[in-house]
Amino acid sequence: MKFIIRWFSVAVGFLVASRFVPGVHVDTFATAILLAAIWGILGLLVRPILVILTLPVTVLTFGLFIFVINAALFAWLGHIIVGFTVASFFAALLGSLVMSATGAIIHGLLGWIGEKEE
């Protein structure tokens, strides 16, 4: 159940980013679901490799370079997924921040409700 809640919250996060960040566009909810699935796969496979490769820069920037990695992955999704466009790197940076914050808030709320029911 937690997996489905997390997947749903990230998909909604992509839709919220599309709504409020100029330069980010998601066509449909189905596209957002696909984006959430691929975002999870990238976070599992590609992101750790990028974090290790950029560790010196990440340490020098006190971890702020992680935002750049997330933005790069967000922008890359805009190039490989039909129905998802990202206009610029700044849009990708802001979009990834909005998407992550929205997803975390929704996951926290739905996870908390799910814990109360069990």
pLDDT digits (tens, 9 = 90+) for 64-82: 999 999 999 999 999 999 9
- Rounded to two decimals, the pTM is 0.87
User: What is the dihedral sign for C-alpha 33, 37, 39, 43?
Assistant: positive
* CA–CA separation, 38 and 22 (whole Å): 22
- The two three-digit tokens of residue 87, written as one number: 């206009």
* β-strand partners of 24: 86
Q: What is the mean pLDDT of residues 36-44?
A: 93
Phi, psi values for residue 84, rounded to 5°: -130, 120
**Distance (Å) of CA 6 to CA 29, 39, 85:** 15, 12, 23
The owner of tokens 């496979």 is 45
Of the given ranges (39-48, 65-74, 107-116), which has the lowest mean pLDDT? Answer: 107-116
User: What is the dihedral sign for C-alpha 104, 107, 109, 115?
Assistant: negative
